[in-house]
Structure 1
Amino acid sequence: MKIGIDKISFYTPAFYVDMTELALVREIDPNKFTIGIGQDKMAFAPITQDAVTMGANAALDILTEEDRQSIELVILATESGIDQSKAGSIYIHRLLGIQPFARSIEIKEACYGATAGINLAKDYIAKHPNSKVLVIGSDIARYGLDTPGEATQGAGAVAMLLSANPRCIALEDDQVFLTEDIMDFWRPVYSEYAYVQGKYSTEQYLHFFETIWAEYQRKFNQPLESFTALCFHLPYTKMGKKALDLIIESAPVADQERLLENYRLSTLYSRNIGNIYTGSLYLSLISLLDHQSQLKAGNKIGFFSYGSGAVGEFFSGHLQEGFKEHIVTSQHQNLLANRTKLSIADYETRFKQELPKDGSTFEIDATSDPASIMLTGITEHMRQYIRKD
């Protein structure tokens, strides 16, 4: 039985910052952002958007009523959780109108969480082939104003509906994973912002990829040229290129050119959104599907997932017959085309806006955000969410 991604989509907030403008205000050479790390725009989440609302918005338009009745498990993967106890997926379950006899849980392991969710989903569907599982990776990457990590911020969510006999991509049982206890990136419960050792984190990302790839070759003996494309977790778009460069020369020249071009296409959305943590790898898949018109059924896609701290995994999948009919390219492109550019001054002002931490009543004007699902405030420590349509 084939199991995999039946539908996939992403959401990013309606506001962005131009990276060239940010560089100039910070008195940095813009090439360090646009070329050095490979970022053109940075999505910005207003106070009305959090991991719950972005996740729900990502899934809203791809679920049919049949889907909502068939979903038996909702998994939210996030490192931007809003509650130490209650899973954000429970709010998402309600906001999307999913049938009540379903499990809803939240997973955390840095940027690896959505991949963990996919593995849980596959196991569940293998035992319950008539069911569907909704896996969402949703995060806001925040490091603070005028900090070394500011240029690698971003916000967004990816929603994936997994099922038996998927219409988009069937996932193989060829996972290779690795865990090491390292401190390359972390956020203690008392901190609003993450701590990161940038150079060390890059080194560990590459170490994990190289180690896992070698083990994957030992176990499955799949040459690089057998892959149509490789998709990577992208904290910034040059990161995956550094990993691909470690192995690219093992393939014939013609295959190298194809893999490099498909890698470029897989980064186009991330270049204009930034880091979305748990959803980043799967945003690269969506970008590839939306921009590479030469893809066809049977093409093999490789995936490298990395979550600081650290857990990494490599696995693959095959595109299915008719997959192009089940991707929503125009929806994604319209979402990006209709965003509003923030001036740097406006971005800084909005960045400093915070929800109250004492549970006091706080209201937000529902017209301030064009999203269908948004946060409208807090009452007695409880977040208030609305779905406008």
Structure 2
Amino acid sequence: MAIGIDKIGFFTSPYYLDIVDLAHARNEEPNKFLIGIGQKKQSVIPPTQDVVTLAANAAEKILSTADKQQIDMIIFGTETGIDNSKSAAIYIQSLLGISNQARSFEIKQACYGGTAGLQMGVEHIRLHPDSKVLVLAADIARYGINTPGEVTQGGGAVAMLLAADPQILEIEDKRTFYSDNIMDFWRPLYRKDAVVDGHYSNEIYIDFFKRTWELYQQKYNRQLDDFSSLIFHLPYTKMGLKALRSIIDESNHPQTLLAQFEASRVYNALVGNLYTGSLYLSLISLLANSNQLAGGSLIGLFSYGSGAQGEFYSARISNRFDNKNLKREMTDLLANRQQLTIDQYQDMYRSALSLSNENQKFDLSNDSSDFVLAGRQDDQRLYQSQK
């Protein structure tokens, strides 16, 4: 029985910062960011959006009324939690009107949380073939203004509906893992901005990729040329390219794999980092922009979460997949964003909901999204539907 991604949707902020503007403001040569990091634009998240609203807006695009009644599990992968106790998934269940007869919970391991949720959902459907599982991967990447990590900020959400006989991607029961207790990136409870050892984290990422790839080869007797493409978790797009180049000599068709990688990073370069969702935005980018995929094509996916957990797994493109709608939706979403000046970006960055317990109310007039964060009252976040 084939199990995997039946529907997939994406949502990000209606605002972005041009990376060239950021380079000029920080007295850097633009190509350091454009080529050295591989980023062109960066989503800037307004205070009226958080991971709950980002995920709700992504999921609302893809779910039918029938889907909402059939879903019996909601898994929310994020490292931008909004509460130390209550799951973001519970808010999603309520906002979207999903059946109350569903398990709803949140899962965390840095950027790996979305993959953990996807694999858990696949195994649930393997035992319960009539089930549908909603997996959400949403985050807001923050490193602070005028910091080394500033160029790799961003945010957004990917929503994936898992089912048997999927229309998009069939997840194979072939996967390998590697984990270790490493302090390359973390975010203490008292901080909104992450703490990261950038050079060390890059080294660990490559190391975990090569370890899981080698374990996969040994376990399943597959080689690089068995794959039509490899896609990666992309905290910034040059990172995935470095990983691919570390094994590209194993291929007899390196230019094909490199071309597929270029297709897979188109959208990430325009959005920036979204932690748990980055690998799956890369998947959306590959599906929408590659002209070399066909039904049955084998792809490899590398997921990484600092701290650290790595996983390499494989999947096949469904014979039923057609990328026309996905391509059009992504083009429309990214084309209809508003560019911010540096001052506007910095003001918006600082205006997010504070870590204190003060009541706050946000102006919603500039956010026409279906779901918004209206503010906070008596320690409760106030979510609102504008449908």
Paired residue secondary structure (1:120): helix
Q: Which amino acid aligns with 1:329?
A: K
Q: Which amino acid aligns with 1:217?
A: Q
Q: Which amino acid aligns with 1:259?
A: L
Q: Which amino acid aligns with 2:103?
A: R
Deviation at 1:13, TM superposition (A): 0.5
Supply the distance in 1 between the matched residues of 2:324 and 2:159 (Cα, whole angstroms). Answer: 14
Partner residue, 1:238: 238
**1:385 equivalent among 367, 383, 386:** 383
Supply the distance in 2 between the matched residues of 1:387 and 1:82 (Cα, whole angstroms). Answer: 18
**2:374 equivalent among 364, 373, 376:** 376
Supply the distance in 2 between the matched residues of 1:51 and 1:378 (Cα, whole angstroms). Answer: 15
Q: Which amino acid aligns with 2:31?
A: N
Partner residue, 2:363: 365
Deviation at 1:327, TM superposition (A): 5.2
Q: Which amino acid aligns with 2:305?
A: G
Alpha-carbon RMSD: 1.1
Deviation at 1:303, TM superposition (A): 0.1
Q: Which amino acid aligns with 2:267?
A: Y
CA separation of 1:117/1:326 partners in 2, compared to 1, >3 Å: closer, same or farther?
Answer: farther
Supply the distance in 2 between the matched residues of 1:24 and 1:90 (Cα, whole angstroms). Answer: 42
Partner residue, 1:51: 51
Deviation at 1:360, TM superposition (A): 3.2
Deviation at 1:349, TM superposition (A): 1.2
Deviation at 1:337, TM superposition (A): 0.4
- Identify unmatched segments of 5+ residues in structure 1: none
Q: Tell me whether 1:314 sits opposite 2:275 in the alignment.
A: no
Supply the distance in 1 between the matched residues of 2:184 and 2:121 (Cα, whole angstroms). Answer: 28
Q: Which amino acid aligns with 1:270?
A: N
Native 8 Å contact 1:168 1:326 kept in 2 = no
Supply the distance in 1 between the matched residues of 2:32 and 2:241 (Cα, whole angstroms). Answer: 16
Deviation at 1:154, TM superposition (A): 0.4
Report the count of equivalent residues: 387
1:110-165 superposed Cα distances (whole Å, 9 cap, x missing partner): 00000000111011111111010000000000000000100000011100000111
1:62-88 superposed Cα distances (whole Å, 9 cap, x missing partner): 001111011000011000010000000
Partner residue, 1:25: 25
Native 8 Å contact 2:19 2:151 kept in 1 = yes
Native 8 Å contact 1:8 1:327 kept in 2 = no
Q: Which amino acid aligns with 1:26?
A: R
Deviation at 1:295, TM superposition (A): 1.4
Supply the distance in 2 between the matched residues of 1:216 and 1:327 (Cα, whole angstroms). Answer: 33
Q: Which amino acid aligns with 2:157?
A: A
Partner residue, 2:341: 343
Supply the distance in 1 between the matched residues of 2:292 and 2:349 (Cα, whole angstroms). Answer: 41
Paired residue secondary structure (1:262): helix
CA separation of 1:325/1:67 partners in 2, compared to 1, >3 Å: closer, same or farther?
Answer: farther
Native 8 Å contact 1:24 1:30 kept in 2 = yes
| Correspondence 1:143-292 to 2 at 5 A | 143-252=143-252, 255-292=253-290
Partner residue, 2:10: 10
Moved more, 297-306 or 359-368: 359-368
What TM-score comes out, normalization by structure 2 length?
0.98
Native 8 Å contact 1:268 1:287 kept in 2 = yes
Supply the distance in 2 between the matched residues of 1:184 and 1:228 (Cα, whole angstroms). Answer: 31
Deviation at 1:355, TM superposition (A): 2.1
Partner residue, 2:353: 355
Supply the distance in 1 between the matched residues of 2:192 and 2:292 (Cα, whole angstroms). Answer: 43
Native 8 Å contact 1:48 1:375 kept in 2 = yes
Percent of paired sites with the same residue: 49
Q: Which amino acid aligns with 2:203?
A: E
Native 8 Å contact 2:268 2:282 kept in 1 = yes
Native 8 Å contact 1:110 1:308 kept in 2 = yes
| Correspondence 1:55-66 to 2 at 5 A | 55-66=55-66
Supply the distance in 1 between the matched residues of 2:117 and 2:320 (Cα, whole angstroms). Answer: 25
Supply the distance in 2 between the matched residues of 1:327 and 1:114 (Cα, whole angstroms). Answer: 24
Supply the distance in 2 between the matched residues of 1:327 and 1:302 (Cα, whole angstroms). Answer: 24
Moved more, 182-191 or 134-143: 182-191
Supply the distance in 2 between the matched residues of 1:329 and 1:280 (Cα, whole angstroms). Answer: 17
Deviation at 1:326, TM superposition (A): 8.3
Native 8 Å contact 1:7 1:327 kept in 2 = no
Partner residue, 1:131: 131
1:319-359 superposed Cα distances (whole Å, 9 cap, x missing partner): 11121168522111111000000000111111111324443
Supply the distance in 2 between the matched residues of 1:66 and 1:244 (Cα, whole angstroms). Answer: 40
Supply the distance in 1 between the matched residues of 2:340 and 2:91 (Cα, whole angstroms). Answer: 29
| Correspondence 1:109-120 to 2 at 5 A | 109-120=109-120
Native 8 Å contact 1:167 1:326 kept in 2 = no
Supply the distance in 1 between the matched residues of 2:265 and 2:144 (Cα, whole angstroms). Answer: 24
Partner residue, 1:93: 93
Paired residue secondary structure (1:375): strand
Supply the distance in 2 between the matched residues of 1:73 and 1:51 (Cα, whole angstroms). Answer: 18
Native 8 Å contact 2:45 2:348 kept in 1 = no
What TM-score comes out, normalization by structure 1 length?
0.98
CA separation of 1:251/1:356 partners in 2, compared to 1, >3 Å: closer, same or farther?
Answer: closer
Native 8 Å contact 1:135 1:161 kept in 2 = yes
- Identify unmatched segments of 5+ residues in structure 2: none
